[in-house]
A and B are shown apart, each in its own frame.
Chain A
């Protein structure tokens, strides 16, 4: 979670399974997302009509990768020079090509990106890769429903997706923005999930989120953060992970209460 410059939000990142240091890549991606979206919320929101500048997407990815690369040099010190060199050198030949070295190092840090940021009744979202971003929507009569904001991007095949380190990342990055409230309804919460929970909380053919996701928001609002995290962890381990082998992560951002809109 991040909260700065009047922006509050959550970010989630899932490291690529086969990449040695993707857990470091996903950790940095989350950290980057918080800072970037907090600092550039207004610029990102400017794409309200859906026409986000391609340059904006390219800048986001480029900034992330530059930071990731710089950070990886510090990790090299942490994880051991030999370990990093071993994973890098196994894919390059003796005649070291600096571009290839860079590409291989970044590839080992591959991760997805999901982020939601809110400020002054407005939101922006970014999504790269699989997983799902959804919203809890409250109607005038107080009824609530789950709404899909961003679906998974798996390309054609089930075991493929795009990562922040992929060459096609700028083109496949999806940005969304909007207002939390309109005449008829209000967004009262956001949910981000990785591909593990996606497989059991998101119906892929008809593209809808399980109504049971509302239970997560109910619990979120009625217990402490610590209690919720324990319950969520238990849910992931005892329920969701019985149905999937994929990594399981869920993040929520919600109003304290699902406020009922005025009937006027």
Chain B
């Protein structure tokens, strides 16, 4: 007794790292063909690289990728530490944004159920939506439904949304409907890499936050990629 430390490392229990689920909902419609899709792919690759260089963020962030035109789940929520390379995105089709949002939100709800069942803590999820055009779902009401669903989640402080318009034809009005409390931003040119670098730094901040911490956005960093 009277030893230097009372407990040893072997005495401690293991609790999983709290997870930060991030859903990327990305426009890969035909209008993204050429340099835009190349820059988007490079941006996503940089996001992977940047998050994996941060040990805490790597162990916390779980990423899902939903693309549209056609709307599909490119990758379900996967720990960043377990993903070798991001999927290669290709440009094709129209812009069923509402359908893609539904997939994003459904997979997000399913992932939270997994966390709850497994007793894994998690941070407020992030939904990142990027589009360069106007939505055109087969069932037009689906966008209204998902916009209402998002608004409800935001009001209940269950979701953080980043809505980004890319290119000259992006429908900022629609983006404002799915991001009612944070003004959608316009990506400057094809600066996807700058945006995803900013995003990776932002998720790193969240993965380090503790109860009672406010998690302010890097507003200055926005100037690196957004038209402000």
Chain B's nearest CB lies how many Å from the CB of A27? 16
Q: Does B85 contact A (CB under 8 A)?
A: no
Task: How many A-B residue pairs have C-beta atoms within 8 angstroms? Tell me.
Answer: 114
Given the interface pairs A231-B4, A232-B6, the reply to whether A246 lies near B12 with Cβ below 8 Å is no
Q: Which residues of chain B are within 8 angstroms of A183 by Cβ–Cβ distance?
A: none
Q: Which of A36-44, A116-124, A198-206 contacts B (4 or more CB under 8 A)?
A: A198-206
Size of the A side of the interface (Cβ < 8 Å), in residues, is 46
Chain B's nearest CB lies how many Å from the CB of A224? 9
Interface residues of B in 107-165 (CB under 8 A from A): 118-124, 158
Q: Which residues of chain A are within 8 angstroms of B5 by Cβ–Cβ distance?
A: 231, 234-235, 238-239
| CA A240 to CA B5, docked complex, whole Å | 10
- A219-B12 in contact (CB<8A): no
Q: Which of B37-45, B69-77, B172-180, B211-219 contacts A (4 or more CB under 8 A)?
A: B211-219
Q: Which residues of chain B are within 8 angstroms of A240 by Cβ–Cβ distance?
A: 7, 12
Given the interface pairs A17-B211, A110-B212, A205-B119, the reply to whether A157 lies near B124 with Cβ below 8 Å is yes
Interface residues of A in 181-215 (CB under 8 A from B): 195, 199-206, 210, 212, 215
- B4-A234 in contact (CB<8A): yes
Which listed residue (A19, A205, A239, A245) contacts B212, Cβ 8 A? Answer: A19
Given the interface pairs A202-B13, A212-B12, A242-B9, the reply to whether A159 lies near B123 with Cβ below 8 Å is yes
| Most chain B beta carbons < 10 A, residue from A202, A210, A212 | A212
Q: Does A160 contact B (CB under 8 A)?
A: yes
Q: Does A254 contact B (CB under 8 A)?
A: no
Top 8 closest pairs, chain A to chain B, by CB: A205-B119, A16-B212, A212-B11, A158-B18, A158-B121, A161-B211, A200-B12, A222-B1
